[in-house]
Each structure stands twice: as structure tokens, then as C-alpha cells.
Amino acid sequence: MSAAIIVLVVTFIVLLVLNVPVAFSMGIATVLALFTIGDMPALSAVARQMATGIESFSLLAIPFFILSGLFMGRGGIARRLIDFANVVVGRFTGGLAFVNILTCMLFGSISGSAAAAVSSVGGFMVPLMNKMGYHRDYNASISITAATTGLLIPPSNVMIVYSLATGGAVSIAAIFMAGILPGIMVGVGLMFVAGVIAGKRGYGKGEKFGLKVSLVRFVQALPAMFLIVIVLGGILGGIFTATEASAIAVVYAFILSVFFYREVKFRELPEIILQSAVTTAVVMMLVATSMAMSWVLARENVPQNASAALLGFTSSPWVLLLVINLILLAVGTFMDMTPAVLIFTPIFLPIVTKFGMDPLHFGIVMIMNLCIGLCTPPVGTCLFLGCGIAETTVTKVIRHILPFFVSMIVVLFICTYVPWFSTWLPGKLGLIGATP
């Protein structure tokens, strides 16, 4: 390992321990690594790589999807999806847990944000479940883990970032489609665990609804769910690109929230737009510094050295995938998804492709690993949001969330070793090998 890489890794870890924001930690570590190399102006080189890193048409989709997600979060969408989910699964034993999970799947797929799902759905469902006698930490565990399904079920910002990190090897439309079955499998796995626990603890059955009420709630939720049809249908039908679809999603979410549901007032628009701009700036800063760090890693031959080390360690694809999963699970506990995808995709993708693994399949496996990291300490965003909403502590929640972790990891390994779940739908739609 070269001196530059040692400086980069040590500086990055020290800054993270000191609670420096991830983007700044990566940027500072990259600059110091280039100072160590000493054959070019470090500051200008990093600035150039950061600017080049975000110079991508595909990345324009991210601010639009963020803005549409904010409109959805403020526009009363979560409540209507909860009412609809209650009709579908609320009647079973521990029904409110199923309602929580299904709503997170639906809302997450619309907003593309796990944090938004925890805040919007968990903010309503956790107090309701508390009131109905469900254990507070169990309720928080469900909201925390179920929120991550929206990162697998499209549209998803992290999938756009992965498409960028592959350098065009995977199209946005293909990775969108690849995540649908694994996302549903994660949700079903969480429901299974929630149902078993609910049965053991004697949580009662939910309310049954008549045909009239069921139809009314379905109709009320239908406009929100139709956004998925517009986005995915338009992309798959070749009507517009993923970036254009994100802009259309903003217009549709605006009309739905302001004029149809009338939950967002015109006076709130500046605040929503400002919030979307701040969130976009954070994401783009992460992308820019991640790309600069990835450039230094590539310059110092880290991907090639890592490939040689792993290939020398084992010749078995099964063992290799196990090792990569363990590494990504560890990475997810201390690194945000965006920089993790941008840094580790160029390192691991060449290795797995040598073993015949489809880049599309690997993308889903990587995202599933990092989704679990959102629910784990020390920096799990969903974990801390969920604990705050439930008014409990991480220490108390961890014991209750472990069975849900087991479920997510089981689904992860099923999807890892059975690529059919990731590649079947894109293959049917002729998207494998398509360009972004």
C-alpha cells in the first residue's frame, strides 16, 4: 500500500471519528493524499475532479426526485397510503405492523427516500401503534427497517448514482427494474418476522372494512400510486429519459399536493424549494468528493490491487461474494450510501465481473447491503430518525430490531446467490445491456 493511500485512509477515518461531515472528510483526505504524491497541484486537481464528477446529465434527476419527494411528504400522501394499506393488510393479527411495512414500501417507492418514509409514515404509524398496545421499540424497529425498501423499489436516487459509478455499464431504467422484486422480497420478509412476533405477543387483529370504504380509500390513494406508473411507464416506453421523468414527477407531485389534495399551501413553496436545494447540495457535495477520492484510488491502482488480493484469496465465486457482502455490511455501518456506492463500485465491480456476475445484479446486492447499514449504529440515518420519532433510545431498539436484521440479511443472501431475482424483470423488458 502506497504512502498516499495510507494518508488517505487514516485521515478519512480520523475525521469521521471526530464527527467531521463525510463529504468534507473525503475532500480533505483526498487533498492530503495528493500532497503526499506531490507531482501535481493538489487543490486544483481535486477541484477539477469534483467538477468533472458531477458533470453528468443523469445526476439532474436527483434534485427533481428530491423535490417531488418533498411535495409527496408534505401533501398528505402518507396518510392516504396508510388508509389504503389498512384496507389491504390491516385485518390480520398484528395488522398495524403490516400496514406500517406496506405503506413504507408504497411511500418509499414514490418519494425515493428512506428518511422521508421514516419521518412521514413512522411519524403517523408509531404513535398509533403505541396507542393500540404495540411495544414502542417494536414499532420503531418496523418503521426503521421498512423505510429502506423505498431505496430498492424505484425510483431511487441511489440507483441513479450506481448507474453513474458503473460508467454506463448499467442503465438507469435497468437498475430501476432490477430492484422491484428484491424490494418486495425485503418487505415480505419483514412482514413475516413482524407477524411471528405479533402472534407470540398476542397483538390483536385490525379492523375489517366493507367494499364501499375499501373502494373509497383505494380511489383516494390511486393518484399518488399513479406517479410510479407515470415515471416507470414513461421510461420503459421510451417516452422520456429518467431525468425527464424526474421533472415530470415534480410537476405531477406539485399538482397533486397543491390542487388535488390541497395539503400544501402556496406560502409553503419557498420553504419546500429551499429544503430541496439544501438536500441536493449535500448529495452533490458527497458525489463530487467521492468521485475525487475514487480518482485517487484508481490512480494508485487500488482497484487492481484489491482485485488481485481477492482473486488470490479464493477462486470460488461463492466465497468471494460472501467476503464482499461482509465488507459492504461493515462499510454501511459507518458510511453514507452515496459515497459508499461511488467509492466501492469501481473497486468491486471489475472483480465480480471476472467471475461472470452481471453488473446489474451486483448493483442490487450492493444497495441491499448498504440499506442495512442505514439501520445500524454508529451512523444509521434511519435508526436515529426512527428512535427520535418513537421517543426511545438506540440501546433499547437494537434488541427488538435484531430479528428484522436477520430477515433482511437472509433476503440479501438469497438475492446474492440467485441472480434471477435481480435480472429476470430487466431481461424480460430487454433492458440488460441497455445504455443510460
**Contact (Cβ atoms closer than 8 angstroms) between residue 190 and residue 94:** no
Spell out a b/e string for 266-304, using b for 16 or more CB atoms within 10 Å of the CB, else e: eeeeeebeeebeebbebbbbbbbbbbbbbbbbebbebbe
- List, in sequence order, every beta strand (DSSP E) within 92-231: none
Cell of 109: 417507492
Checking if the pLDDT of 381 tops 90, the result is no
pLDDT class for 323, splitting at 50, 70, 90? very high
What pLDDT shows up at residue 1? 61
Checking if the pLDDT of 433 tops 60, the result is no
Checking if the pLDDT of 436 tops 50, the result is no
What pLDDT shows up at residue 271? 93
pTM of the model: 0.88
- Residue 152 vs residue 17, higher pLDDT: 152
Checking if the pLDDT of 190 tops 90, the result is yes
% of the chain residues with pLDDT over 70: 98
Task: Tell me what percent of the chain is helix, strand and coil, each rounded to the nearest 5.
Answer: 80, 0, 20
- Residue 236 vs residue 290, higher pLDDT: 290
Q: Which residue has the cell 441491499?
A: 368
Name the DSSP class of 205: B
What backbone phi and psi angles, to 5 degrees, belong to 5?
A: -70, -40
What pLDDT shows up at residue 274? 94
Give the residue among 192, 206, 190, 194 at the shortest CA–CA distance from 150: 190
**Average model confidence (pLDDT) for the chain?**
87
- Residue 69 vs residue 415, higher pLDDT: 415
